[in-house]
A and B are shown apart, each in its own frame.
Chain A
């Protein structure tokens, strides 16, 4: 078999079709890799060995029959806040520790219909609230590039799993950067599609006006393929957009030589960015200048994005997480009356950060503070959105750093919630505005830690975002393989 750590989904599909490898062999190889490296990395909450092998055998039967599907026999992982029927969906929370999903999320139905094989469920910050995966109620995940560093979050398990080749791709969710930031920290590609492009049915809700499911993979093409399968209108999600989904792989090939006007928002580059990271990003921009028109622009309300987000997202979470009351499912604490049962179940079932955000949300919505916090933030959100809409009158796409710093140390920010929130500064505005954004690795620091750029596009121009990402990937021309894979 070809070197497992260099395989992409597209190459693997070819090998499967040519019968040079079977899906069962791939799954066994993936399970072997999990046994080898996951005791250190801890990307998976649950590995469905039996189910994965069964699906692989079924995929092999279909391949034998000559059936063609977009992901037939491809092993992937799923963030543990997306429901796969019959498997645990814990959201890395004690309150859902014993919850078994009674139905499939729409994205899971779509992946299954195209023959994907689910390896297991990946770790996250509890209810996707966090930027380091340290808020998991079970264990933190470690960065495959440096085990002392965080993998980012909240989809840290998915990013780390793809980076260490425990599956060829993954799905995560992104509310304020939860796909793009861990992708950047782990040296893989991660994309948040336009809000409404991918159905949220079966994704455990955190902040419904911001949440969006998206793919992780090792290449832009693989990311495009995964998005192709999961995108599209779903009547089960009332915010799902009734729009046509273009052929992403065809688009990125057609745009291989297209020259774009790329905007660089000065607010992103003037803020405090790690100097070494900044240098790597500026070098990429220099290279892009040869082919594209680079234009400096201003997104003047950027500095208010973090405050806006940390009012709106907790307010929505306060409401969404009211359902965890110990009555119909999830953890129930012993108690003598109903109110006590609610309070004790929630106090013992939720972790610190989740409780902090529920409290923040309740405060921002409560009588006397609604206008000053929630309503004010919702108005500033309009200004942030407007900044982007104005910018896209002048440029095709926007390019920024994904994070202000390379991956930070485990424990470094966990005791200071505000510092942790500020690490999302470059990803949050994209969610507030509902735009598509992608993180693409572009280099390594002298400490051998991944550096990435973010490409942001107009609403429902996800194919343009992927196209520029594809060009950047070609320009960088480097495989990002952490040294743990060579040990």
Chain B
């Protein structure tokens, strides 16, 4: 298999995902099959070929750094899972001894 169970757990942590052992086993099998299929790319000669990250040649556009008022703040706050007045509550991020 192209990818081990340990690698699945390692990648899952990088993705901030978690899987049960059973799910991880299925995933290792599925990903291995897909990664094996990807191996066909290794047969393509890409010597001296530049990578394409964007199909069309574009430049980063610049604009004036002007402050504009955003009118939908309340609508954004409405989507927050937990609010205290106009602040979003999150689990504690600092450890207390």
Query: Which A-chain residue is minimally distant from B14 (CB atoms)?
Result: A362
Taking A103-B72, A376-B46 as contacts, is the C-beta distance between A360 and B34 under 8 angstroms? yes
> B58 touching A329 by the CB < 8 A rule?
no
In the assembled complex, the CB of A96 is this many whole angstroms from the nearest CB of chain B, namely 9
Q: Which residues of B contact A21 (CB under 8 A)?
A: none
Q: Which of A194, A350, A358 has the most CB of B within 10 A?
A: A358
Contact pick for A359, options B11, B51, B76, CB 8 Å = B11
B6-45, CB < 8 A from A? 7-8, 11-12, 14-19, 27, 30-31, 33-35, 37-38, 40-42, 44
Contact pick for B51, options A322, A331, A378, CB 8 Å = A378
> A195 touching B38 by the CB < 8 A rule?
no
> B91 touching A336 by the CB < 8 A rule?
yes
A372 to B49, CA, bound (A): 14
> A326 touching B56 by the CB < 8 A rule?
no
A375 at interface (Cβ–Cβ under 8 A)?
A: yes
Contact pick for A329, options B33, B40, B51, B79, CB 8 Å = B79
Taking A310-B38, A359-B31 as contacts, is the C-beta distance between A378 and B52 under 8 angstroms? yes
Contact pick for B30, options A102, A417, A432, CB 8 Å = A417
Q: Which residues of B contact A372 (CB under 8 A)?
A: 42
A331-361, CB < 8 A from B? 331-332, 335-344, 346-347, 350, 355-356, 358-360
Contact pick for B17, options A328, A338, A355, CB 8 Å = A355
Q: Which residues of A contact B42 (CB under 8 A)?
A: 372, 376
In the assembled complex, the CB of A306 is this many whole angstroms from the nearest CB of chain B, namely 8
Q: Which residues of A contact B8 (CB under 8 A)?
A: 359
> B55 touching A344 by the CB < 8 A rule?
no
> A307 touching B14 by the CB < 8 A rule?
no
A380 at interface (Cβ–Cβ under 8 A)?
A: yes
Number of A interface residues, CB 8 Å? 75
Taking A304-B41, A360-B34, A417-B34 as contacts, is the C-beta distance between A459 and B56 under 8 angstroms? yes
Tell me the interface secondary structure of chain B in the complex. Answer: loop
A40 at interface (Cβ–Cβ under 8 A)?
A: no
Q: Which of A196, A347, A383 has the most CB of B within 10 A?
A: A347
Interchain Cβ contacts within 8 Å, total number: 167
B86 at interface (Cβ–Cβ under 8 A)?
A: no
B80 at interface (Cβ–Cβ under 8 A)?
A: yes
Tell me the interface secondary structure of chain A in the complex. Answer: helix
A85 at interface (Cβ–Cβ under 8 A)?
A: yes
A251 at interface (Cβ–Cβ under 8 A)?
A: no
A194 to B16, CA, bound (A): 34
Query: Which B-chain residue is minimally distant from A365 (CB atoms)?
Result: B14
> A383 touching B90 by the CB < 8 A rule?
no
Q: Which residues of B contact A331 (CB under 8 A)?
A: 81
> B31 touching A382 by the CB < 8 A rule?
no
In the assembled complex, the CB of A36 is this many whole angstroms from the nearest CB of chain B, namely 34
In the assembled complex, the CB of B10 is this many whole angstroms from the nearest CB of chain A, namely 9
Taking A102-B75, A332-B81 as contacts, is the C-beta distance between A339 and B16 under 8 angstroms? yes
Known: A242-B61, A382-B49, A434-B55. 14 other contacts (CB 8 A): A98-B79, A235-B63, A307-B38, A330-B79, A335-B91, A337-B91, A337-B92, A341-B90, A372-B42, A376-B41, A377-B38, A378-B52, A380-B41, A418-B33
User: 24 interchain pairs (CB within 8 A)?
Assistant: A195-B55, A209-B55, A307-B37, A307-B40, A327-B81, A330-B81, A338-B90, A341-B90, A341-B91, A346-B17, A355-B27, A356-B30, A358-B17, A359-B15, A359-B31, A360-B34, A362-B14, A366-B11, A378-B52, A379-B52, A382-B49, A418-B33, A432-B55, A433-B55
By a beta-carbon cutoff of 8 Å, the part of chain A in contact with chain B is: 85-86, 98-100, 102-103, 194-196, 209, 235, 238-239, 241-242, 301, 303-304, 306-308, 310-311, 318, 322, 325-332, 335-344, 346-347, 350, 355-356, 358-360, 362-363, 366, 372-373, 375-383, 385, 417-418, 421, 432-435, 459
